[in-house]
Structure 1
Amino acid sequence: MPKLSVLDMGVASSGTTVAESINDIRDLARTAERFGYERYWVAEHHGVPAFLTSATAVLIQAVAAATSTIRVGAGGIMLPNHASLLVAENFGTLETLHPGRIDLGLGSGVGGPGIVKELLRTRPPEDYEEQLTELLAYFRPGGGKTRMPLSVRVAEGHRPQIWGLGSSSGGARRAATHGLPFVYAQHLNADGMNEALRVYREEFRPSKTFPEPYVMVCVSVVCADSDEQAQFLAGPAVHIGYEKASGHQPGPLPTPEEVAAAGYPDDQLPAVDAIRSEMVVGSPGTVGKELDRILTESNGDELMITTSVHAVEDRVRSLELLSSL
């Protein structure tokens, strides 16, 4: 098994406070560090009751301050929601405070319902390349003076490790053009993985930081001591996927008992099965075989695991079992 990393979606569980859920992010990062994971990333979401990672840079600082060796970062910052200048200032500062430990994953989505575009003044997709080029220039020593209207001293020479994120060939192409390592969101679009990675590798332009393509694949995983227990614990994550697919903004994660008791209409069972099939769920033996298959298919260099279960202790156990594969 190659390097393993963690993506924390900041899922809020029913029956917990916001403070408890956010503190769990910090505590789980310590756990991941203890189990030997390579990096711990937090996502960016806005206006979705199920997710609490809207202040991504703030959470990264809290996680980095609570750990000492694991890499910490964003998976990712949705660049159209932000001014490139502010992203450079935030992540240059983070890299200065925690040198050699900060990752900046960049996405082109919104991370929330449609109204988020209006409230955050989200820029249109056609502006993404301009934003990315501007951002990268801020991190170059002297880059602000020669390329941009102003110099950002806190960013110049304090560049985090920058990643391109995507669930399609478009995101793969952007990462390849700039010589960035690429994270493919297999948990969002399993069917598109092979084509996206083909585009990334064929169009990759070597950079000083990454002379060769580098691929990390992000997978939704629930691992437990038995296949049956894992399937039961995965119920709430399947429920959130079902709510999103139905056009609803999911609320806090219900308990697996609540999901099992509620069930689904018979005519929706194929859709539920399809959502479950996109996850890797089971005992260590079952999960290990499926992750090996995904690694072989993708020829990936690293795996990133995202796990949404209701109880913190079940997530800790999942991380522990995965770290032993």
Structure 2
Amino acid sequence: MSVPFSVLDLAPVVSGSTSAQALRNTLDLARRTEALGFHRYWLAEHHAMPGIASSATAVLIGQVAAATSRLRVGSGGIMLPNHPPMVVAEQFGTLEALHPGRIDLGLGRAPGTDAKTARALRRSPDSLSVDDFPEQVQELRAYFGDRSIVTPAAGNEPPVWLLGSSGYSARLAGLLGLPFAFAHHFSAENTLPALATYRESFRPSAELERPYAMIAVSVTAAGTDERARELAAPQALSFLRLRQGRPGPLPSPDETAAYPYTPIDREIIESRMSSQVIGSRETVRKQLDALLEQTAADEVMVVTSTYEQADRLRSYDIVADLYELSAAEAVV
């Protein structure tokens, strides 16, 4: 099954390390995955999260694009309610002008943070409603028009994607005729309904003649199934702590093993890991092939978070080798 594979990076900050090291790891991973044949490299926007260093998303996109030569680089995504659309247009018009044909603008409708932080970002509680998202998207895109007075956005519009974890953005992406990226890595139960909604509501546009759907999938690949589960365990604990309102850096393997899990904690973690692709080469290939068969996705975006950078690189090495990525080509 030959589809393009891409990368979603949250620039994870691990326990005992720093944000600066996380950002250096991002550049390291971008260079490595470009050499392996991955198609695009997206950075996620989150704020006030001790374990995520990609909060200044547009800045980091510029650094990754400058450190690579072929990868498409973009946002997975810019949380539009957090920002004045004109500012986003200026930022991504600048990126597109500096790196023509290599920038993607993925947009999300959730703040991606708590209400207090969201208010600090926009400085106006009246501007935070996600119900304004369709109008914000249209306003943003208008700034890229050739007659726009917004410099350097005018004439420098990168491809716009809508991101989602439910049916709302799926339907909007279909109605606007835009490519759609679904967050299977944290909303697996909604994947198939959202993709169906996107395809059913799709209307051809100047950007896209037919639907183009990408799914983001959490993947941890290693030499054996047991080793892969060990590598994935810290990320599962990090998710548990987030649900408990105690976000922090990605814990070490020792912290993970020593954590006093309750029966409910273990249920949450098992549920979380059951929707991820975790295992040896054979297991990863089997699970990804099954997911591609179920979803008919046009592209897969792989997100991998491990405590050691070497293990993260190795996981992407395995995926690249399994799917011979240089042979796959994307439509968008």
What TM-score range do you get, normalising by the shorter chain?
A: over 0.9
In the alignment, what sits opposite 2:46? Answer: 45
What residue in structure 2 maps to residue 221 of structure 1? 219
- Taking a change above 3 Å as real, the CA distance of residues 304 and 85 of structure 1, as seen in their structure-2 partners, is same
What is the deviation of 1:257?
Answer: 2.6
Q: CA deviation at 1:233?
A: 0.4
Q: 1:48 touches 1:249 (CA, 8 Å); kept in 2? A: no
1:271-312 superposed Cα distances (whole Å, 9 cap, x missing partner): 221111121100111011111111111111000000111110
Q: Does 1:311 align with 2:311?
A: no
Contact 2:240–2:265 under 8 Å retained in 1: no
5 Å matches for 1:87-126? 87-121=88-122, 123-126=128-131
Which letter does structure 2 place at the counterpart of 1:314? D
- Runs of 5+ consecutive residues of structure 2 not aligned to the other structure: 323-332
Judge which range, 290-299 or 315-324, deviates more: 290-299
Code of the aligned partner of 1:10: A
C-alpha change, 1:220 and 1:277, in structure 2 (3 Å) is same
Q: Per-residue deviation at 1:49?
A: 0.6
Alignment of 1:139 onto 2:144: yes
Matches within 5 A, 1:230-309: 230-246=228-244, 248-309=245-306
Per the alignment, residue 127 of structure 1 pairs with: 132
Could you tell me which amino acid in structure 2 is paired with residue 102 of structure 1? I
Write out per-residue CA displacement over residues 155-189 of structure 1, whole angstroms, 9 at most, x where no aligned residue: 12211111110010001011112111000100111
Instruction: Give the conservation status (yes or no) of the 8 Å contact 1:139–1:156.
Output: yes
Shift of 1:245: 2.3
Cα deviation, residue 263, structure 1 = 4.5
Q: Which moved more, 1:236-245 or 1:29-38?
A: 236-245
Give the corresponding residue for 2:57: 56
Give the match's secondary structure for 2:217: strand
Question: More deviation in 9-18 or 209-218?
Answer: 9-18
Alignment-derived partner of residue 209 in structure 2? 211
Determine if the alignment matches structure 1 residue 154 to structure 2 residue 167. no
CA contact (8 A) 1:242 1:275 kept: no
Aligned position for 2:177: 179
Query: In 2, are the aligned partners of 1:234 and 1:256 still within 8 Å (CA)?
Result: no
Q: Aligned partner of 2:137: which letter? A: L
Q: What is the percentage of aligned positions where both structures have the same residue?
A: 46
- TM-score normalized by the length of structure 1: 0.95
Distance in 1 (alpha carbons) for counterparts of 2:227 and 2:128: 44
Conservation of the 8 A alpha-carbon contact between 1:102 and 1:160: yes
Matching residue of 1:69: 70
Structure 1 residue 267 displacement after superposition: 3.7
4+ runs deviating over 6 angstroms:
none
1:206 to partner: Cα distance: 1.0
Helix, strand or coil at the partner of 1:47: coil
Q: Which amino acid aligns with 2:318?
A: L
Specify which of 196, 199, 209 is matched with residue 197 of structure 2.
Answer: 199
Q: Which moved more, 1:248-257 or 1:125-134?
A: 248-257
Gaps of 5+ in 1: 145-150
C-alpha displacement at 1:244, in angstroms?
2.0
Distance 2:19 2:256 in 1: 22
CA distance in structure 2 between the aligned counterparts of 1:249 and 1:42, rounded to whole angstroms:
23
Partner Cα distance (1:10, 1:274) in 2:
24
Q: 1:128, CA displacement in angstroms?
A: 1.0
- Matched to 1:177, the amino acid is L
Shift of 1:114: 2.6
Output the aligned Cα RMSD: 1.1
Q: How does 1:74-85 map to 2 (within 5 A)?
A: 74-85=75-86
Q: Distance in 2 between matches of 1:139 and 1:23?
A: 32
AA partner of residue 7 (structure 2): V
Matched residue SS, 2:76 = strand
- Structure 2 distance, partners of 1:23, 1:130, is 37
User: What CA distance in whole angstroms lies between the structure 2 residues aligned with 1:166 and 1:131?
Assistant: 16
The change in CA–CA distance for 1:267 and 1:214 in structure 2 (over 3 A counts) is: closer
Alpha-carbon distance in 1 for matches of 2:116, 2:235 = 24
**How many equivalent residue pairs?**
317
**Which one-letter code corresponds to 1:22 in the other structure?**
L
Give the match's secondary structure for 1:324: helix
User: Where does residue 23 of structure 2 map in the other structure?
Assistant: 22
